[in-house]
Amino acid sequence: MKLSKLLKLLQFYDNQSQIEQLLYECNREGLLYTTLNYHSQSGEAFLSFNPEAQASENLVLFGEQLKQVFLKVRAAATKGQSQRERFFGKAKDKIEDEIKAMQEGQQRMQQTKLDLEDEDVRKARLLEVQ
């Protein structure tokens, strides 16, 4: 299998060196035994499985484990995102409450100003009448 094909299959890995590191870890842990051949005619690396290690069975197990890891990473990212959304939601609510209180205070001050102006006008009329 060409390494570029494996890169397309494992789209959540950004580059070839990350896949090489993954394969190294799998070899080290005994999950899957592979050999990378960089001496091909096309210049591209080829991945071969060690037939003695029952590669097909291990590959299925590896795929399932990789899927579980991917789901855990996605769940952790979603959890972190929901925590951020909750945090920013609370902050937004608090800011909105403060803005509302400030606007209410401005409206009360405006009403008080209007009331004082009306009272001044009434006093001036009373003085004119007298």
Residue 99 and residue 128 share a domain: yes
> pLDDT > 70: what percent of the chain?
88
Residue 28 and residue 72 share a domain: no
Residue 130 and residue 71 share a domain: yes
Note the pLDDT of residue 116: 92
Assigned domain for 13 exists: yes
Q: Please count the structural domains in the chain.
A: 2
For 3-36, the pLDDT digits (tens) are 778 778 777 778 888 888 888 888 888 777 777 7
Assigned domain for 61 exists: no
Note the pLDDT of residue 87: 80
Residue 45 and residue 10 share a domain: yes
Domain ranges, residue 103: 67-130
What's the chain look like in SS3? CEHHHHHHHCCCCCCHHHHHHHHHHHHHHCCCCEEEECCCCCCCCEEEECHHHCHHHHHHHHHHHHHHHHHHHHHHHHHHHHHHHHHHHHHHHHHHHHHHHHHHHHHHHHHHHHHHHHHHHHHHHHHHHC
The pTM is what?
0.36
For 42-61, the pLDDT digits (tens) are 667 777 776 665 656 667 77
Residue 71 and residue 49 share a domain: no
